Amino acid sequence: MTDNSMEQEIKSVFDLQQKYKFELRKTDAKTRIAKLKELKQALENAEEEIYVALDKDLRKSRFETAVTELFFTYAEIEHAIKKLASWMKPKSVGKTMSNLFASNKIYYEPKGVCLIIAPWNYPLQLIMSPLISAIAAGNCAILKPSELSSSTANVIHKIISNTFDEKEIACFEGDAEISTALLKLPFDHIFFTGSTAIGKIVMEAAAKNLTSVTLELGGKSPAIIDDSCDLKKAAEKIAWGKLVNAGQTCIAPDYVLIDEKLETVFVKHYKAAVQKMFFSGGEINESVYGKIINEKQFARLSELIRKTIKDGAQLEFGGETNAESLTINPTVFTSIGAESNMMQEEIFGPILPIIKCQNLQQAIDFVNTKDKPLALYIFSDDSKNQEKIINETSSGGTCVNDVLVHISNPNLPFGGVNSSGMGSCHGIFGFKNFSHERAVVFQSKFGMTKMIYPPYNMALLKWLKKLM
């Protein structure tokens, strides 16, 4: 397909959706719930294809695919089905003197035609989650899965095209040229998940059409460990959170800040946890440990290891790489400097830098010298320390004595702050994200507006002032 014909096809589908959105906005909860059930059934029917595709793209085990991709998506759908009728109901709000006798409500209207651009690291979950919210809110949507996880993108395209009419939901596969063509169009909302650098490009493109955006980005998410916690449990949880999907998780612990007296013991526990979870017979167990997505990312991470060693950091264990299988073994560095290459960018791989701190305040200050992260993890059994860290830092989300799990609760908002993102998703937060909250006032025959018509009564003004 030529560039011109591709753009024409995209524009044709976009125009169809722009017309159909006015019909779709009329749908009730029952109709939208039926669509969500159809989506879930289509996913269930394609489960085997999904398992095969994610194994090919990322070497995800069936267990990991089930837990982090499929079950997560099914839970989101079921939550929306259960709650949608209540979400859609207009909400009554309080009154003021100016509309004392009126009925004041918030209506949730669909934004219209929405663009959803998804990344490659959780290619099913991170395209289906916003789609669920878009459907629940009554929108049309165009999906753009990542070309880097091409096998999964193919399956997603098949699921969407077999389940929905393109005038309602469509899917376009392809490289950055497809994304560029899509971003030229005046969508009613854009939902993007990916890197901060590309997020800026998306936001710039959206600004040309004054299109609202949700940006789910990333950043360097720290784990802070104090001397009150169970170090063994902390090491196990951080090891799992860091190494699931071979570290290619936007909310993975990026680095550890730890009391200097605890570093050696923590490294010992972390290494033991890694060997227990991801090794078998002294070798990395590829049946449970994923691969790096492609040669480009593999080369970036391999070079990062090389530069970090050159910078003078201490390689505690790991560092082995296999270009043929795109595998980078779990790796830990200590004696990391703040100016190290490792600390300048999101790692997005199975490499963990550990930084010693003299006290908790130093750890907090270190976090605050960097951009606000998508997640922050606190390992402490001291409630005062927990509250101190929460109150003196900022992050998209936080877990205390665990990692990643905040993303699994649809009753919590998920999103970033500033460079780690804007806007929230999941549950009602996703529904509102794809809705316009419309203020509606139903005035009664006793409305007081007439009191302030010209000619003005200065005595009335004094009376009104007293009521303020």
Q: Please, is 96 exposed, middle or buried when counting C-beta atoms within 10 Å of its C-beta (0-12, 13-18, 19+)?
A: exposed
- Given the candidates 3.40.309.10, 3.30.365.10, 1.20.5.440, 3.40.30.10, the CATH classification of the domain at 222-408 is 3.40.309.10
Over 80: is that where the pLDDT of 57 sits?
Answer: yes
> What is the pairing mode between strands 113-117 and 140-144?
parallel
Q: Kindly state the helix (H) or strand (E) to which residue 160 belongs, with its residue range.
A: helix 150-163
pLDDT at 456: 86
Over 70: is that where the pLDDT of 127 sits?
Answer: yes
Instruction: Fill in the DSSP letter of residue 370.
Output: S
Write down the catalytic residue from 114, 171, 229, 250.
250
pLDDT at 459: 85
Over 70: is that where the pLDDT of 1 sits?
Answer: no
Over 60: is that where the pLDDT of 2 sits?
Answer: no
Over 90: is that where the pLDDT of 222 sits?
Answer: yes
Write down the catalytic residue from 7, 76, 216, 316.
216
Confidence of residue 16 (pLDDT cuts 50, 70, 90): very high
Residue ranges covered by each domain of the chain: 3-217+417-440, 222-408
Over 90: is that where the pLDDT of 287 sits?
Answer: yes
Read off the pLDDT of residues 347-364 as tens digits, 9 standing for 90 and up.
999 999 999 999 999 999
Is residue 250 part of the annotated active site? The answer reads: yes
Confidence of residue 97 (pLDDT cuts 50, 70, 90): confident
Over 90: is that where the pLDDT of 450 sits?
Answer: no
| Cα gap 127→122, rounded to integer Å | 8
Full-model pTM: 0.95
Is residue 114 part of the annotated active site? The answer reads: no
Percentage of residues in the chain with pLDDT exceeding 90?
A: 90
The mean predicted confidence, pLDDT, of the chain is 96
CATH node for 3-217+417-440? 3.40.605.10
Q: Kindly state the helix (H) or strand (E) to which residue 467 belongs, with its residue range.
A: helix 458-467
Over 90: is that where the pLDDT of 308 sits?
Answer: yes
Q: Give the SS3 label for residue 368.
A: helix
**Encoding tokens for residue 336?**
């990391």
pLDDT at 360: 97
Q: What is the dihedral of CA 266, 268, 274, 279, to 10 degrees?
A: 180
| DSSP secondary structure of 46-88 | THHHHHHHHHHHH---HHHHIIIIIHHHHHHHHHHHHHHHHHH
Confidence of residue 19 (pLDDT cuts 50, 70, 90): very high
